[in-house]
Structure 1
Amino acid sequence: MKTKDYRFAAKTFILCLALLQAVMYLPPQADVSRKASAEQRSVAATWMWNTYAIWRDKDQTLQYLTQNGINLVYLQVDKEIPVDVYRTFIREAGARGIEIHALGGKPYWALPERQGEMYEFIYWVKAYNNSSRSAERFNGIHLDVEPYVLPQWRYDQDTVIGHWMDTVSGFVEEVKSDSYLTTGADFPVWLDRFLVPDGKGDTTTLTDWFFGRLDQITLMAYIDNAPDIVKAVTKELNEAAGKPVIIGMETMDNDEANTSFYALGRSQLTGELNTVVQALSGHPSYAGYAIHEYDSWVMLRD
């Protein structure tokens, strides 16, 4: 082989190697196809607040999620857990068809003086994704900020709502500034009681305002029977105008009457869940269901 042929072959090899590395370490924007494909299927989700389950009981956790048809997990970010634990879990979950969204939130994140913690959470997820292979990355970021439990809600509701709106706007803006990560959040089913400016000289419900900014909404329809769940979410589903809405159901012992399947058990949860799915599956905004939360769900009596 002539010298110039060696040079050509070397250049070709280097180019191929660079392309291979680019595929292995795609930036977050390249996950858009995975996001699009996930939105075409019905969501079966759960919250995982106890992140140690992916470290201590990884195989058992993945087996339970798979056996119960879960394809989306809201996984709380715990910075004390080594990043390699996240990488392994997300990679193995993805091989089973399960997406993982980073979960974070505190009620006080809605307050201006505490929003910095939310941005630190977002920065951590982005840094993690940028240092991980495509199959090991979070597909979205899921926000759980419930400021209505704060003392300020009782005496200055309007101000707290304004801060909450600013929090969600800032969340979406920061996440979307340099990524295609899905933005999602949890909300109660009664926010349609509050009217807020729609930015066009009129008013709209607080629920509709949130719908207009996020990719995905999870309604915490924490009621222990299917007819009342369907009734509670119908208005929000109509307001969503085709945007994905996931219906959340409770299994924790929260000491509130008629809100949880904790005392009713697994069979009752399954039956009511099937009724909800059957009733709502034809609605263009119904995207699936979510069970709150993993540890309490696993422990439900049959």
Structure 2
Amino acid sequence: MLIESFLDYLQYERNYSEKTVLAYGEDIKQLQEFAQEEYGRFNPLEVEAELIREWIVSLMDDKGYTSTSVNRKLSSLRTFYKYLLRQGETTIDPLRKIKGPKNKKPLPVFLKENEMNRLLDEADFGEGFKGCRDRLIIEVFYATGMRLSELIGLDNKDVDFSASLLKVTGKRNKQRLIPFGDELQELMLEYINVRNETIPERSEAFFIRENGERLYKNLVYNLVKRNLSKVATLKKKSPHVLRHTFATTMLNNEAELGAVKELLGHESITTTEIYTHATFEELKKVYKQAHPRA
């Protein structure tokens, strides 16, 4: 009766949708089934924190639920017991000391080095100004790790060939310098020559369209997606994937975490640390594929 009255309260007093009420009911039912299976009975007013903890472990270890799903179920139970407390049915909330599992941040998606090599060494970017520009955009993302907005905002004055530095403006207008190598310098000089010959009248932007105006986000996003599709089967194919690829490649080749943080323009090193998890996950895959007893 307590569960039914709680679900009626959600539907008729809180005006929750039928689908939401059903989900709350299923979550409580799942706890009920677990309690009956483990202890042979279930009384909502006698549930203790220990039972909840055992249920969480069972959901994650035995049934394979993610931390997000478990936390959603715990949210349903918290609402249920708040209702019972308000109704005076109980004076103890078994979830008061329960902390849900931490939600794992998804690991960044990135291309492997051999995929990037195939793209840059073998892919056809087309002829003329657009082909030259599109290839350089991919190269710049991969060689510098800059953000999409930073690439679009790059002006001619921000490219210092004598010092081999790019000045980019990141989040909250924070500026940083990114070094570049001889190979990228050659490609940039080639692009400038083609651009200046093809489009004599243009804006101050370094990367431009055929009408001489600055690039916009969708144009760059689509050209990156189109070109990454030539070598990768990843679901996500965006400029940010190339930023992830830059960071992962740097760490795989023994760059210091602090240096990668500065190059990416991260405020905190904890943001950069997620790439160490990505490189470790890749290492585990290689180990499992290569070792006979993995």
Query: Which bracket does the TM-score occupy, shorter chain normalised?
Result: under 0.3
TM-score normalized by the length of structure 2: 0.27
TM-score normalized by the length of structure 1: 0.27
Compare CA radii of gyration and give the structure with the larger one. Answer: 2
Which structure carries more helix by proportion?
Answer: 2
Which structure carries more strand by proportion?
Answer: 1
